[in-house]
Amino acid sequence: MYFEGTLLPEQEDRVLSHMRENLPKPPGHEVHFYNGENISETSNTVTRFTLRGTDSVELAALGGQAHAILQDVPGLSGITLPDASAPEQMNVEIDRDIAHSFGIGAEAAIQSIGWALRGIPLPRFQERGREIPLILELDRADAPNLATLRDLPVYTLSNQVPLSSFSDFTVSKGASTIYREDGQISYTLTAQVDDPSRMNEVSTAGYSALRQIDLPRGFSLATDQSIQRKASDELKELGTAGLLSLVLIFLVMAILFESLILPFSVLTTIPFAVVGAVWSIWALGNPIDAMGMIGIIILAGLVVNNGIVLIDRIHRLASSMDRKDAVLAGCAHRVRPIVMTALTTVVGLIPMSMMPPATGSIDYRSMATIMIGGLLASTFFTLWVVPLAYTLLDDLRLSFIAAFRWAKSPASAKSKAAAPIES
């Protein structure tokens, strides 16, 4: 179905719920509701359940059991098998014992079937500048069908035997694509999650329900493809990216400030920004997804801007006045631009944090919410945490310089400094 205009997710859910309740259910038919555009690796409304094994036919049978089990899991709908749209095919199962009694091998039978269906390739006809492939096949009026296969003669050294004498014929759906990973075949079922905020919970319940299947030897549930495992891997990758971003931010500030201590006073705003981001997510009830983690990394680069502007002004004023006066004057000079910059960014992010995503698109609400909460918290704390960290670190720097000079001074000067003063 295609709607005339763009529908909000809740509007589309109402339409689908109405159809699920009122659509006639004819015997022998099954209706699935899902959005084909959502079937992607980054969708937050689709979950997958994967079985692995060594035989595709056995996996298809186990997939049917899994389909029936997942239909009873609350929160899942529109469960789709990978071979649901696969074409039907004719299966020829050769009885090796009977074929051997006729003196026929499986390879000879397969070659006869291939010649009947695809024809017999002949040597290529060659002439100057080109080659023409030649294939000897049945006339279109005699196209092979089930009766042709049953009566297909398979030649032996002394006789010919109909294929139906030692083979059984069945019709079933065949896998259109077979996926292999580490030498095993993967069979993946796809399901819609009614409530995206319960993705992990529903996925865990689905895999728990599938454990009741009696899997043969060599077959298993691919839990490494679960939502939890992928989320854990994404969290590790984003954590590594976050640490690398902090290192790069520190190096840039160290080069610009020409100091290894001043950058630490700016970095003190990042923990407060993270606290504000987590609080905003908790207050609005939005889940932290991959886009939210990316928002935290972006937030680390944004919140240091206010600290850089403030520390740069204080450091410049400290060269011509007392440090306390420089801190007070620097905060007074930079409070207005810092607040204005933060508020304009927050106001620009509000529509993104409130607007639900269109069907099949990426949800940016968690990223916008995290950036709004982090910017508000960091802006509030920047005006007093950063100056405090600057003064403490500056005192630490002066202490190190004094200790270093004392250690480099001659022994006579040290003894004089340690001797008591006589009155």
7 in a structural domain: no
Distances 195 to 38, 72, 75, 199, 364 between C-alpha atoms, Å: 14, 16, 7, 7, 17
Both 303 and 350 in a single domain? yes
Q: Mean pLDDT in the chain?
A: 79
Q: Is the pLDDT of residue 207 over 70?
A: yes
Compute the radius of gyration of the chain from its Cα atoms.
36
Both 54 and 193 in a single domain? yes
Helical H segments across 355-419, by residue range:
365-408, 411-418
Both 295 and 394 in a single domain? yes
15 in a structural domain: no
The enclosing domain of 251 has a CATH number of 1.20.1640.10
Both 81 and 154 in a single domain? no
353 in a structural domain: yes
122 in a structural domain: yes
Model confidence pLDDT, tens digit, residues 118-159 = 778 888 888 888 888 888 876 655 556 777 778 888 887 777
The amino acid at residue 176 is S
Total number of residues shown for the chain: 423
264 in a structural domain: yes
Both 348 and 364 in a single domain? yes
Torsion sign, CA atoms 127, 132, 138, 139: negative
Both 280 and 381 in a single domain? yes
- Percent of the chain past pLDDT 70, that is, above it, reads 85
Residue range of the domain that includes 111 = 89-171
Number of domains in the chain: 3
8 in a structural domain: no
Both 279 and 306 in a single domain? yes
So what's the pLDDT on residue 118? 76
DSSP state of 134: E
5 in a structural domain: no
Q: Give the three-state DSSP class for 357.
A: coil
Both 245 and 153 in a single domain? no
Both 39 and 106 in a single domain? no
So what's the pLDDT on residue 220? 85
Both 109 and 140 in a single domain? yes
How does residue 384 score in pLDDT terms, banded at 50, 70 and 90? Answer: confident
So what's the pLDDT on residue 414? 53
The answer to whether the CB of 311 falls within 8 A of the CB of 265 is yes
The enclosing domain of 45 has a CATH number of 3.30.70.1320
422 in a structural domain: no
How does residue 41 score in pLDDT terms, banded at 50, 70 and 90? Answer: very low
